[in-house]
Chains A and B, each alone.
Chain A
Amino acid sequence: MKWVESNLGLVWDLTLTHVALCIPPIVIGFLLSIPIGWFANRFRVSRGTILVVLGLLYTIPSLPLFIFMPLILGTSQVSSLNVTVALTIYAVALMVRSASDGFGSVDSDILQAASAMGYSGWQRFWRVELPLSGPVLLAGLRVVSASTVSLATIGSVIGVTSLGYLFLNGLQRTIPAEVASGIVAVLVIAVVFDLVIVLAGRLLLPWNRGDRSARATARAARRRAVLVAEGAS
């Protein structure tokens, strides 16, 4: 405990850095996955290919990918951009399946009805398809969030500061309290992110509350996303 007391400032700073490192890949990955997932769902022929390729991307081990990033991006070895881009790739790889499932979960009768009402294609996407696939999209986003928060720790190995520093330093200097506080901080971030996403879902998808079948669809989607993540690691 003594280590924690005297290093609270360090843990707090690293936590903030870690949060700042995680948010862009989660947000960008989510945004990129929506058009790709929509496309994969809309054009069935492309669905298989897109999902397989992206599934394979997630199986690339993170450390080599982090190390290779500078070669691909032309960035410096210690640039945090390497980690941001690599984490975004993982986020997309995980999220596209959920997005595709999400758009696939929208009842085709409802889409027909929306067209018959006189929604144009664009209006139908924003006002009907996107909100109705919301529960499944958020289920996928929760998995992406947890995955990103944990993967970001590995960035420390290549010199991009994150809570992973506490693991490396703690192990090297055999300070169990340091390692433990790193684990706790990562968990706290993951839980807080998860709560934020769940709360956002409550606010943005109010019709969904108390709808058992929608919740079941979302749960199933989350399980599928977790399976993809587990199958890869």
Chain B
Amino acid sequence: MVRRRLGPAMIEFRSVTKQFPDGTVAVDSFDLVIPPRKTTVLVGSSGCGKTTLLRMINRMIDPTSGSILIDGEDTSGLAPVKLRRRIGYVMQNSGLLPHRKVIDNVATVPILNGVPKKDARARALELLDTVGLDRSLASKYPRQLSGGQQQRVGVARGLAADPNILLMDEPFGAVDPIVRAELQQETIRLQEGLGKTVVFVTHDIDEAFLLGHQVVILQKGGHIAQVGSPAEILANPANDFVASFVGADRGKRVLRIERVDGRDVVVDENGTPTGVLQP
């Protein structure tokens, strides 16, 4: 296979508007630069257009107007099917093909790209290691796996063609909190290790702050309420909407220092001690 040289994968939205046939304007003149090799999280309540934005990157949805650029190249000039094969995609409920064994699910995209089956499968086995799954699961069907395991397979599949962009659409929304916490840590580890540009969609602000180098808080119609690092947003919420969304207005995330036995103990909004301040 002739590999095209992939750039660092900077994604740019330039006054992108999406109006659906039924008249709903999901996204209205949206501008955003997604920095390469970082995690950008689009966060907002349902109906804010975050999934629409994500799906416009790999042309699952085409914008009504405006353009989306990857490393300066307008995606509207690229064939959608080819574009999708070089962008990883992980969705809620894993979206695994139920009639394909785990290993074949992971090998899907490389095989579509023309990699010989044997090589694609060998690589798929390595990817199971990467996402922390036992190789013995390779010959099982997706429904024989737990929800968390399926989600890991979904991540492995998203990484299989070694894309430089990974789109994640509420990937951990349907797994229990303990597994979710594990998967979140795994995502951070993978992103740091592999240096992919990750675009992550969630409605959970805690998840957004945990994973995002850049967090984009969205209001209805894809309007950006605030863009910044978690620290910037916490230090200086742009408006009441952001303050309420991150919980600052309810005193959430406000930590106090209490002096106990000569040491500084950090206490959260409920008065629960959460740690000791290092001198």
Closest to B169 in A: A116
CA distance A208 to B95 in the complex (A): 17
Q: Are A207 and B98 in contact (CB under 8 A)?
A: yes
CA distance A113 to B55 in the complex (A): 11
Interface of A is mostly: helix
Interface presence of B141 (CB below 8 A) = yes
B81 cross-chain contacts in A, Cβ below 8 A: 118-120
Q: Are A113 and B84 in contact (CB under 8 A)?
A: no
Q: Are B98 and A118 in contact (CB under 8 A)?
A: no
Contact mask for chain A residues 212-224; partner B; CB cutoff 8 A; 1 contact, 0 none = 0000000000000
Asked, given contacts A118-B109, A132-B99, A207-B99, whether A113 binds B89 with beta carbons under 8 Å apart, the answer is: yes
Q: Are A110 and B98 in contact (CB under 8 A)?
A: yes
Asked, given contacts A118-B109, A118-B112, whether A113 binds B85 with beta carbons under 8 Å apart, the answer is: no
A112 cross-chain contacts in B, Cβ below 8 A: 60, 91, 95
Q: Are B95 and A207 in contact (CB under 8 A)?
A: no
Closest to A212 in B: B143
Q: Are B99 and A205 in contact (CB under 8 A)?
A: yes
Which residue in A110, A117, A211 is a CB contact (below 8 Å) of B108?
A117
Asked, given contacts A131-B99, A132-B98, A211-B143, whether A109 binds B84 with beta carbons under 8 Å apart, the answer is: no
Q: Are B84 and A115 in contact (CB under 8 A)?
A: yes
CA distance A128 to B96 in the complex (A): 11
Minimal beta-carbon separation of A35 from chain B (angstroms): 21
Contact mask for chain A residues 149-163; partner B; CB cutoff 8 A; 1 contact, 0 none = 000000000000000
CA distance A118 to B109 in the complex (A): 7
Interface presence of A114 (CB below 8 A) = yes
Closest to B83 in A: A118
CA distance A115 to B99 in the complex (A): 16
Which residue in B85, B92, B97, B113 is a CB contact (below 8 Å) of A110?
B97
Minimal beta-carbon separation of B127 from chain A (angstroms): 14
Minimal beta-carbon separation of B222 from chain A (angstroms): 20
Contact mask for chain A residues 109-153; partner B; CB cutoff 8 A; 1 contact, 0 none = 110111111111001000010011000000000000000000000
Asked, given contacts A131-B99, A132-B98, A207-B98, whether A117 binds B109 with beta carbons under 8 Å apart, the answer is: yes
B91 cross-chain contacts in A, Cβ below 8 A: 109, 112-113, 116
Asked, given contacts A119-B112, A211-B143, whether A114 binds B85 with beta carbons under 8 Å apart, the answer is: no
- The 9 A-B pairs of least Cβ separation, nearest first, read A113-B95, A118-B85, A118-B84, A116-B89, A207-B99, A207-B141, A120-B81, A131-B99, A118-B112
> Would you list 24 pairs from A and B whose C-beta atoms are within 8 A, ordered by A residue?
A109-B91, A109-B92, A112-B91, A112-B95, A113-B95, A115-B60, A115-B84, A116-B55, A116-B58, A116-B60, A116-B95, A117-B89, A117-B108, A117-B109, A117-B112, A117-B157, A118-B113, A120-B81, A123-B112, A131-B99, A132-B98, A207-B98, A207-B100, A208-B99
